[in-house]
Every structure is written in C-alpha cells, then in structure tokens.
Amino acid sequence: MGASVNKTTETAFEPLLQFDMEMEDFLSDWHHCDHVSSYLARMISHNRTDPVRHSNFFSSALNELLEVSFRGGTTDGKIGLSIYRQGATERVQLSFPCPPGQARFYREAVSKTRESDAQARYLDAISNDLAPSRESVLLDLAVNYDARLRLDEDAAPAITLIVDLPLEGEGMVS
C-alpha cells in the first residue's frame, strides 16, 4: 500500500482521543485492560446513535486489543492508544513495545485476518484450542466485528496495530 493512500484515509479520520501510559504501570495490573476499555468506550460513545450498546460493543473489541498488548508487550516504553472516527467507523491505533522479532509474528497474524480463509482459521482455532492465541484474537476481531486490521512497524521495536471497526453499520448497533 502506498504512503500517499494512507495519508488520504488518515486525514478523513477525526481524532477522538489519545491515551498513553508507561508500559510498566500498564503491565502491573491485568484489570487495566478492562478498566481502560470500559472507560474509553463510554467516553467516545456518548454521541453515537445508541451510546449504551455502542459502548458495550466497542469496549469488547478494545479490551481484546489491550489484552494482546498486555500478553505480548515489554516493560520498556509506553503503550499509546489513539481513537479516531470516520462516519460509522472507529479506528483504534494501539502502539506498544514488544520483544525483538515479534513484529514478524504480528505481521503474519494481521495478514491472516485479511485472507479469504480467515473464518475457517478462526473456527478451527475455537474448535480445537484450549485458550485463545493472539492470532485467534485478531481473527475474532475480523470475523465477529468486521474489523480491518493493519500493522505499522515504523517505530520498531514498538509495533502499532491499526484496527478499523465499523460498529454502527449493518445493524450491529442500530
């Protein structure tokens, strides 16, 4: 994908909020995932058509992403979260430091979410695995939330997951 294409889509997204935290603090308590996702979801949902359901839905997706960064992140640096909106879509941009070599893992996991067999992979994962892998969590977002995922590795060793969630469309929350 060309850089200029990214630019135009980016500018059409209106920033809603930004949040960051020292990774060390974030990783000190698992409940940060739940608290941050619930709190931010409430904040950005108040002017959606159905704020209660939007907030519930958004929190659910955001929490999965935060859990990914909790399980895969390292303590050096910050976790950064930005939320944007364009029409019915919210964009979550989540950056966090991770161990060297992990970028490749995320690159593959993200690209699998965009392949035609994403649903089959997801079904395979949930029918056989005892616990979700980070890969199946990303597949869950693509399959159950119609999310579109991308990875940005510009700030290595930190990675940035960019996830577009079309939550208001398709009667999901309407």
Partner 1 sequence: MIAAGLPQRFKVGFDPNSQIFSLAGTIRPRSIDEIAESIHALREAIDAVRGVLYIDVKRLIQMNNTAFQAFIRVALDACRERSDLRLVIVTSSVVSWTTRMFRHLSTIEPQISVEVYDSMFYPGQDYFEDTSFIPILRAQTKLTWRHERTILPRHGMRPGIAVADICCGIGDFAVLAQKEFQPARIVALDHSKPSLAYARTVAAEFGVTGIEYTYGDASEMLLEDNQFDFVACRHSLQIFNQPELLLKELYRIVKPGGRVYITNEKNSHCLGEPRAQSIQWTYNELARLLSHFEMDVELGPKSRRYLADAGFDDILVESFMVTNLDGDPQDFADIIAGWEKMFAAMAARHGEAPEFIDRFRQGFRDHIFAALHPKGYAGWPIWAASGRKPL
Q: Does 122 bind partner 1 (CB under 8 A)?
A: yes
Q: Residue 96 in 3-state DSSP?
A: strand
Q: What's the closest the beta carbon of residue 6 comes to partner 1, in angstroms?
A: 28
Q: Residue 39 in 3-state DSSP?
A: helix
User: Whole-angstrom Cα distance, residue 107 to residue 147?
Assistant: 16
Q: Which of 74, 86, 102, 144 binds partner 1 (CB under 8 A)?
A: 144
Q: Which is nearer to partner 1, 59 or 82 (CB)?
A: 59
Q: What's the closest the beta carbon of residue 138 comes to partner 1, in angstroms?
A: 10
Q: Which residues are CB-contacts of 138 (< 8 A; sequence separation ≥ 6)?
A: 68, 109, 110, 112, 113, 149
Q: What's the closest the beta carbon of residue 159 comes to partner 1, in angstroms?
A: 20
Q: Does 116 bind partner 1 (CB under 8 A)?
A: no
Phi and psi at 96, nearest 5°, equal: -155, 150
Q: Which of 13, 26, 27, 59 binds partner 1 (CB under 8 A)?
A: 59
Q: Which is nearer to partner 1, 126 or 156 (CB)?
A: 126
Q: How many CB atoms lie within 10 A of CB 133?
A: 12
Q: Does 72 bind partner 1 (CB under 8 A)?
A: no
> Which two three-digit tokens encode residue 127?
């029918």
Q: Does 96 bind partner 1 (CB under 8 A)?
A: no
Q: Which residues are CB-contacts of 6 (< 8 A; sequence separation ≥ 6)?
A: none
User: Whole-angstrom Cα distance, residue 166 to residue 173?
Assistant: 10
> How many chain residues interact with partner 1 (CB under 8 A)?
36
Provide the binding-site residues for partner 1, judged by CB under 8 A.
Answer: 30-31, 33-34, 46-47, 49-53, 56-57, 59-61, 63-64, 67, 122-123, 126-127, 129-132, 136-137, 140, 143-145, 171-173
